[in-house]
Chains A and B, each alone.
Chain A
Amino acid sequence: MTENSNTDKSRRQFLGSAAVAAGMAVAPGVILHQTASAKPADEAISSKVRWGMLIDTAKCANGCDACVSACDEEHNLGGGRSETDAQWIRKVELRDKQTGHSLTMPLLCQHCEFPPCVDVCPTGASFRREDGIVLVDKHICIGCRYCMMACPYKARSFIHEDLHDQKPYSPRGKGTVESCTFCVHRVDRDETPACVEACDAEGHNAMIFGDMNNPDSEISRQLASYSSSQIRGDLGLNTGVRYRGI
């Protein structure tokens, strides 16, 4: 017993000193969970990276909407009025009328390389980041909604009413258009989007997020090994979201 408690004590002391050492190794203001691969906060993003997502419809469970609720929670999307609430990601059911075979899949902003929403924006508010994430700069969005009409995926929402209690990392407001940001606040910290995390937590693992320019990333290896497709690939938009099994 005594021996055990002694062991415990020395173990605790060791862990304590290890924690102090780890704490001292980083400069003040730097968060410990940042890994070596994360982009430093003061470094601009670059086109060396292209963020993308691969969705395996065979793994996407019918009736599961974990990705949708995770998105609502992360960005505080639900306002309790479904007609006008923003939808950044939605579950879509596809059914073959002839055979009756059906499948479900999440549909979100496809983060195109040549985004029609950016082409039509009169103010430059709709833009594509260097790393491929398509965003709305709400500071200069005038709410004209041309982008909503231009998007072939119906991925954007307009905010009709005053919002309250927005998340600090996800500012949103009345009179602007918005859509999926690939959880850019997480991506800049080298984390994965909330929907992907939720899908993994449910054990479905239907969504893979990663750098499509890096041949060693999981998404690149999957894309190279198995066939996948873009929705409305005929439009030649080179989407950042790819699907398997449709």
Chain B
Amino acid sequence: MIFPTLRRGMLACIAGILAFLCLSPALLAGELLPVVPPAKARFSEEQACVEPLDDIRKNHMEYLLHQRDDTVHDGIRTKQHSLTECIDCHVGPDQNNEYPRISSNDHFCSSCHTYAAVSIDCFQCHSDRPAENLQFETLSRGMMPDLNNATK
């Protein structure tokens, strides 16, 4: 036989725990889960990315590894699993028209890799920004008027 006051106390306690459990995922989502930047386009009508999302999230490193050997040794340059294409689609300019670097959590790859605590060394050699950024830089260097000199 449980005393009514004790029972009331236990119920309040359980309600408190339940409330915490319900609220905590929302808290977690707000603070800890990675904020992954959106891709520029869908792969196809049916599919968001080059493979189904649960597959590419889990196995992207396998696809990249396979593609890397095919490309370096056999000159196969298909786009579906190419790292360059990943970067082209997933890394876009921010509000200031600047491309996030791999060192920043705003970069597509590091946004998730920081969360998962998996360090990657791809970008010690590979470009972390898309080719379009590069073309813009080349264009602005070679063809646009030199604004610094123009103001003088």
Q: Residues of A at under 8 Å CB distance from B? A: 29, 39, 41-45, 127, 129-131, 135, 137-139, 162-163, 165-169, 171-174, 176, 184, 188-189
Whether A168 contacts B76 by the Cβ 8 Å rule is no
B124 to chain A, nearest CB (A): 5
Q: Please, which residues of chain A bring their CB within 8 A of the CB of B79?
A: 29, 41
Say whether B42 faces chain A, with CB atoms less than 8 Å apart: no
Tally of A-B residue pairs with Cβ under 8 A? 58
Point out the residues of chain B lying under 8 angstroms from A172, CB to CB: 125
The chain B residue with its CB closest to the CB of A170 is B127
Secondary structure at chain A's binding surface: helix, strand, loop or mixed? Answer: loop
Q: Write the nearest CB–CB distance from B80 to chain A, whole angstroms.
A: 9
| Residue count of chain B within 8 Å CB distance of chain A | 20
Q: Are A44 and B76 in contact (CB under 8 A)?
A: yes
CB of B150 within 8 Å of the partner chain: no
Q: Which residues of B contact A (CB under 8 A)?
A: 68, 70, 72-79, 84, 87, 124-127, 129-131, 134
Q: In the complex the two chains form, is B84's CB within 8 Å of A129's CB?
A: no
Question: With A167-B127, A168-B126, A171-B125 in contact, do A139 and B72 touch (Cβ < 8 Å)?
Answer: yes
Knowing A42-B78, A129-B75, A135-B72, the reply to whether A173 touches B125 (Cβ < 8 A) is yes
State whether A41 touches B87 (Cβ < 8 A): no
Apart from A162-B124, A166-B126, what are 9 other A-B pairs with CB-CB below 8 Å? A42-B76, A42-B78, A44-B70, A44-B76, A135-B72, A137-B73, A168-B130, A171-B127, A176-B125
CB pair B76 A166 closer than 8 Å: no
The answer to whether B124 touches A44, judged by C-beta atoms less than 8 angstroms apart, is no
Query: What residues of chain B lie closer than 8 Å to A131, measured between beta carbons?
Result: 75
Q: Select which of B75, B126, B134 is within 8 A of A171 by beta carbon.
A: B126
**Which B-chain residue is minimally distant from A162 (CB atoms)?**
B124
Most chain B beta-carbon neighbours within 10 Å: one of A42, A131, A168: A168
